[in-house]
Amino acid sequence: MKNCKNCNTPIKEDSNTCPNCGANVSDTFEPLEEKTELQKLLAEANLARMRGDLNGAIDLCTEALEIEPQNADVHSLLGDIYKAMDNPAEAARWYQMALDINPDSKPDQAKLQEALALASKKKMGEPVTSKGNWMQPIDKIDRAIRYFVLFCAAAVMVLLIIGLTIWVVHSQKEDKTMINNQPAKTGETITKHPQSTQNTSSSPAPPIESPVIGEPEGGTLIRPLVEQTLLSRLATNPNIQQERLVIEDVKFDPRTDKIEVTMRFSDRPTVLTRIVVRKAEAVAATAAYEASSEAKMVTIRTLVSMPGKYASGEPKLVHICDVPRSITSVDISKADDAVLSRIFLNEWWDTEIGL
């Protein structure tokens, strides 16, 4: 180990520059064992300053001044101590005294200028920024306070990160729940009506049946409000219930004010004839006109279960017809097949059933 000749700061053997004053000490150092009493006091004072014991450093410098009052190094070290105590005005006074003793000391000249600038800012109320390390404590209490502040800041950052992570995970779960609970959009099924004529003797090609009757598998058929209302009114109509009819579907076309009703017998009639089918359709058409005052035409599609003839037992479309509003003035219970056949329009029968 060696000491700086200017400020007596301990320096490593392989270093040529003083870490405190910046002097070149390659040729100007003295072994520790050859220190004088003054040099020992300076070294101890500087070490106390570096450790944060500023008051102890001042006491050691005071002892050094008693030995050699005109030592520039002691005055410069006192300037460093008062600067560390955030007293730039007092530090400038000691730097000036050091320059009075050693006017050629460039380190003291630079320190004096810096201290004067800091003192001027402090006097004007401006914030004073020190070039020293913020983590370099002044004393043990200051060190503890600074470490506590750092710990609190780190804890707050950790809590913020944890909170942000929880919020992101919770938001992702909510998004997945909303997606899973969102109902699938179901398009309305378009049913093509058969082209038929009033001439029942001809047998046009059978119509294409709608693949969806009532509610589709795996979900509920989405209907407009007017169709839901019509379906509810028809299903609760006492005449339809008396005839043991089941309303499978109702559609309303606002372009033509036309209602299309798909129905079936809840139980297959003992005797299934055309008059039985027509009377049931007349009851359904009358109920449809009662449910909607705007309807100008009602189309009836009649399904009949044929378990004996078809192995699947699925309802079979047997008849389609248009029923005008004039049906409401007919006594259906007394009407015969001839009367109803004259009222019904655009009839189509499934010839395979043999009605």
- The identity of residue 30, as a single letter, is E
pLDDT at 138 over 90: no
Range name among 84-98, 193-207, 262-276, 286-300 with the lowest pLDDT average: 193-207
Identify whether 158 is part of a domain: no
6: domain CATH number? 1.25.40.10
Query: Which pLDDT does position 314 carry in this prediction?
Result: 74
Query: Which pLDDT does position 139 carry in this prediction?
Result: 55
Question: 267-304, pLDDT tens digit by residue?
Answer: 767 778 889 899 999 999 999 999 999 899 999 999 98
Number of folded domains that form the chain: 2
Query: Which pLDDT does position 111 carry in this prediction?
Result: 93
Query: Which pLDDT does position 270 carry in this prediction?
Result: 72
pLDDT at 312 over 70: no
The length of the chain, given as a count of residues:
355
pLDDT at 165 over 90: yes
Which positions ≥6 away from 20 have C-beta within 8 Å? Answer: 4, 7, 9, 46, 80
Question: Which of 94, 128, 162 lies at the terminal end of a domain, its last residue?
Answer: 128
Which positions ≥6 away from 231 have C-beta within 8 Å? Answer: 223, 247, 249, 250
Question: Which of 67, 99, 128 lies at the terminal end of a domain, its last residue?
Answer: 128
Higher pLDDT, residue 315 or 161: 161
Rounded (10°) angle between helices 106-124 and 72-84: 30
Q: Which among 320, 311, 315 is positioned nearest to 248, based on CA atoms?
A: 315
Range name among 25-39, 52-66, 67-81, 138-152 with the lowest pLDDT average: 25-39
Query: Which pLDDT does position 35 carry in this prediction?
Result: 57
Query: Which pLDDT does position 189 carry in this prediction?
Result: 42
Question: Which of 106, 128, 150 lies at the terminal end of a domain, its last residue?
Answer: 128
Tell me the mean pLDDT in the region 334-338: 88
Domain containing 344 equals 225-349
Q: What is the mean pLDDT of the chain?
A: 80
Identify whether 114 is part of a domain: yes
Please give the model's pTM, rounded to 2 decimal places: 0.39
Higher pLDDT, residue 184 or 220: 220
